[in-house]
């Protein structure tokens, strides 16, 4: 049976592709993280840029000029990305690319500081932090960590080769390679753990969505149940009253259904109910909902539908039911229907009462009728 509730379950997770689900969780995690990382990075970059600016150091060395360039560049990238997250939140959540670009900018900044530290005091701290930081804060594909570390290693070799070529000895290069490899492996291990966590979260979300879907379905017919109808009905009426978007409702039940149970047994009666639901679904759009209200009584909600169109749908449903035999039942199975359109300011109870009155009018007119 096809899903007939697009306006309630607009984003069904039941059919969510596995890799797409993991990717969405990864992007969501990056978004939440960078909401805090970007402002902090921007603040630190601006403070350090001010402390090393010509205002406080009238005669800056080339190292201070290099530091200024690095810090202002990082600050500008952070400010741009912060504005991007602020004003284009939906766009930022649609792709992981912005986060990877900003992560690359952070890595290059760290490797830039590494060049400075190496050329001054041969300190490995900035380089080690640069190789490990991305794996700790950014959830990305494995190839991204490898590319960033390769770029960082090449940057380090070029920078040190220009500033301190005598330091490019096999021992030092071997140490840098080891540190770089440790950074890549650590990033990949952290990403693997993160993916396992995302996988668990995704399975939990899918399980919760499945349970929610099951709780809203009628066990026999597969139609939505009364609990679901009451929730959606309240929402539809509220939306119609607020935004003026009218909808229609069809209330129907099967004629002389008790006689079918008495004459042919409850198993045949169950088959009649299931067969009826299948027939009705064939006449509905994906935005319409079929709900089992109780026993042999059903309610159809027709979104953005006028009374005239709803009557046509009801007549098509009634005709299909009357002309389609059910195995085990010797006579045609018919139904009576009441059709109403929501009126401005009308409450759910009043609308349903009008439909119920019309349903009994159709029964009183000889059954197998549509009243509106």
Distance from first CA to last CA of the chain, Å, rounded? 28
Say what the pLDDT of residue 334 is: 95
- In this predicted structure, what is the pLDDT of residue 265? 93
pLDDT digits (tens), the chain, 372 positions: 334 433 333 333 333 344 555 666 667 777 777 777 788 888 888 887 777 777 666 666 666 666 777 778 878 888 888 777 777 655 445 567 777 777 777 777 777 666 666 666 566 666 666 667 767 777 777 887 788 778 777 877 777 777 778 777 888 788 778 877 887 888 888 878 777 777 777 777 777 777 777 778 888 998 999 988 998 999 899 888 888 888 999 999 999 999 999 999 999 999 999 999 999 999 999 889 999 998 899 999 998 899 999 999 999 999 999 999 998 898 999 999 999 999 988 999 999 999 999 999 999 999 999 999
C-alpha distances in angstroms, 211 versus 1, 217, 223, 290, 343? Answer: 18, 10, 15, 19, 35
Q: Strands 297-303 and 247-254: what pairing?
A: antiparallel
Contact in structure between 248 and 310 (CB atoms under 8 Å): yes
Which pLDDT score is estimated for 62?
A: 61
Q: What is the pLDDT of residue 119?
A: 61
C-beta neighbour count of 170 within 10 angstroms: 7
Q: Which of 296, 308, 315, 346 is catalytic?
A: 296
Q: What is the DSSP letter of 259?
A: H
370 vs 176, 318, 338, CA distance in Å? 82, 8, 6
Secondary structure (DSSP) of 32-67: HHHHHHHHHHHHHHHHHHHHTSTTT-SS--HHHHHH
Residues 360 and 328 sit within 8 Å (Cβ to Cβ): no
pTM: 0.53
Catalytic annotation on 330? Answer: no
Q: Sketch out the chain's domains with CATH numbers.
A: 18-210 (no CATH), 226-371 (3.30.70.270)
* Confidence (pLDDT) at 81: 80
Cα separation, 365 vs 297, in Å, equals: 18
């Amino acid at each position: 049976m096809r899903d007939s509730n697009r306006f309630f379950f607009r984003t069904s997770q039941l059919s969510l592709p596995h890799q797409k689900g993991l990717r969405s969780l990864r992007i969501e995690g990056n978004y939440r993280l960078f909401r805090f990382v970007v402002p902090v990075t921007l603040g630190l970059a601006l403070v350090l840029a001010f402390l090393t600016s010509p205002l406080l150091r009238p005669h800056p060395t080339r190292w201070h000029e290099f530091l200024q360039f690095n810090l202002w560049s990082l600050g500008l990238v952070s400010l741009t990305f912060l504005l991007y997250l602020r004003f284009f939140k939906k766009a930022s959540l649609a792709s992981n690319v912005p986060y990877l670009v900003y992560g690359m900018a952070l890595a290059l900044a760290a490797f830039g500081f590494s060049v400075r530290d190496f050329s001054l005091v041969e300190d490995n701290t900035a380089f080690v932090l640069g190789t490990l930081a991305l794996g700790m804060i950014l959830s990305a594909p494995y190839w991204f960590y490898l590319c960033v570390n390769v770029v960082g290693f090449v940057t380090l070799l070029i920078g040190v080769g220009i500033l301190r070529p005598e330091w490019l000895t096999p021992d030092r290069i071997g140490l840098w390679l080891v540190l770089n490899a440790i950074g890549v492996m650590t990033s990949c291990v952290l990403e693997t753990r993160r993916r396992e966590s995302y996988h668990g979260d995704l399975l939990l979300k899918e399980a919760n969505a499945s349970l929610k879907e099951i709780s809203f379905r009628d066990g026999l017919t597969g139609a939505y149940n009364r609990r679901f109808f009451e929730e959606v009905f309240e929402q539809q009426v509220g939306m119609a009253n607020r935004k003026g978007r009218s909808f229609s409702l069809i209330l129907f039940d099967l004629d002389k259904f008790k006689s079918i149970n008495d004459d042919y047994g409850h198993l045949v009666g169950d088959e009649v109910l299931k067969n009826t639901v299948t027939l009705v679904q064939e006449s509905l759009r994906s935005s319409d909902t079929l709900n089992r209200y109780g026993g042999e009584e059903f309610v159809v909600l027709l979104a953005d539908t006028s009374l005239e169109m709803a009557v046509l749908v009801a007549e098509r449903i009634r005709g299909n039911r009357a002309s389609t035999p059910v195995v085990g039942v010797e006579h045609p199975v018919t139904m009576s229907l009441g059709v109403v359109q929501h009126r401005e300011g009308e409450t759910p109870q009043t609308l349903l009462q009008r439909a119920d009155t019309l349903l009994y009018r159709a029964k009183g007119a000889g059954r197998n009728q549509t009243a509106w």
